[in-house]
Amino acid sequence: MSAVAEYLADARAQMVADLTAYIEQETPSDDLAALDAGLAWVRGWLGERIGEPAEERRVDGGEHGDVAVLDYAASGGGEGRVAVLCHYDTVWPLGTLEGWPVRIDGDRLTGPGAFDMKAGLVQVVWAIRAAREAGLPLPAIRLVLNGDEETGSPASRPVIEAEVADCDAVLVFEASAEGALKTARKGVGIFQVTTRGIEGHAGLDPERGVSAIDEIARVVVQLHGAADLAAGTSVNVGTLRGGSRSNVTAGLATAMVDVRVADQEERARIDGVLQALSPRHELAELEVGGGWNRPVMQRSEGTARLFALAEEAAAELGTSIRETSVGGASDGNFAAALGLPVLDGLGAVGDGAHARHEWISIAGMLERAGIAALLLGKLASGGAR
């Protein structure tokens, strides 16, 4: 175990340099050219750091970033197959680096995408290197890299589901939650409610018009009333749009709704609430669009076993970790819905996802790479079963 820690301590400067170079490859979700260039950089860097994969596939993402799947053979007598999920896209637009370059202040490294989630990929790559150097067994590793996670993984979801299906465990190197690993995530639904009324002159013919805004306002009250925070269910109407002028009865209105649920029962209840929505006025119309973006990731027995192995790995390195449940979703939700054991939040220790103060702890990066190296070794010895 000391060999892993010592190797990573010696590699600190190179790990920081790798993360810096990766952050400087700007990869906004909505820029295909930048995503393609970023993935090309990542692919070359992976070849330099952990060698060429035994097999690889690249799936065209269409209007989204491509998905790269790289299979690395087991080594050191290791058994089984583990999927590792990382996304290479970020929420930051092209040119962000001009006003916010990578900066290091003591243990903190800041830069667009550092926390969410470029440090995670750097950590798993150096975990593999450290495990090899220490002579630990490694399972076959299937590295899945997608470029559309920040937009809901519309193109990569079927690829992820297909590629993890024959794996023993799934490790997600998304950022930690205040240092905690994530063993449960809420399911997420994104819905659009549209109401249609009848336009009319609000002053001359106030009784002839049918207000779509009046209808949507009643819907908002109903939806917010359906939240049950004690049960882990939040419902938020985040945007409202409607009408044309103050003196015209609104003919159209829309509401965008974000829903988070902690279990399938609550998801079914919210489905019922949405299906029951109806206009108050007989001449008004109401339509619900959208759907569930990610299924619930519940803490299964398999996930509990993965966390226990990670706890053992941390203890062997002289540290400790904890687990938590979070409201945000990730690609791990897709794998968990297939019944696979999933351990999420194995990436950076830091804060500020999607925020200008986004930062990671360099010491945390080394520590978590060490934990990942030992965890992979345990999984190679049948720990996931």
Give all domains of the chain, ordered by start, each with its CATH number.
Answer: 2-185+297-380 (3.40.630.10), 187-294 (3.30.70.360)
76 DSSP 8-state letter: T
**Is the previous residue joined to 117 through a cis bond, with omega within 30 degrees of 0?**
yes
Q: Is residue 313 a contact partner of residue 378, using CB atoms and an 8 Å limit? A: yes
The per-residue pLDDT for 133 is 97
Active-site choice (18, 149, 214, 367): 149
> For the sheet containing 108-110, what is the strand order?
103-105, 108-110, 359-361, 350-351
> What's the pTM?
0.91
> 237 near 220, Cβ under 8 Å?
yes
Instruction: Report the side by side order of strands in the sheet with 140-146.
Output: 55-59, 67-72, 140-146, 81-87, 169-172, 342-343
User: Mind listing the pLDDT tens digit of every residue in the chain (385 residues)?
Assistant: 689 999 999 999 999 999 999 999 999 999 999 999 999 999 999 999 999 999 999 999 999 999 999 999 999 999 999 999 999 999 999 999 999 999 999 999 999 999 999 999 999 999 999 999 999 999 999 999 999 999 999 999 999 999 999 999 999 999 999 999 999 999 999 999 999 999 999 999 898 999 999 999 999 999 999 999 999 999 999 999 999 999 999 999 999 999 999 999 999 999 999 999 999 999 999 999 999 999 999 999 999 999 999 999 999 999 999 999 999 999 999 999 999 999 999 999 999 999 999 999 999 999 999 999 999 999 999 866 5
Cα–Cα distances in Å, from 116 out to 88, 92, 274, 359? 9, 11, 32, 9
Q: Is 73 helix (H, G, I), strand (E, B) or coil?
A: coil
What is the reported pLDDT for 2? 86
Beta strands 169-172; 342-343: pairing state = parallel
> Catalytic residue among 89, 150, 174, 215, which?
89
Amino acid at 51: G
pLDDT value for 197: 98
Distances (CA, A) of 4 to 120, 263, 375: 18, 39, 12
Beta strands at 187-196 and 252-261: parallel, antiparallel or unpaired: antiparallel
> Catalytic site residue 89?
yes
* Residue 86, pLDDT score: 98
What is residue 382's predicted lDDT score, i.e. its pLDDT?
81
To the query of whether residue 116 is one of the catalytic residues in this protein, the response is no
Contact 184, 329 (CB under 8 A): no
Nearest Cα neighbor of 26 from 38, 41, 10 is 38
Position 1 scores a pLDDT of 63
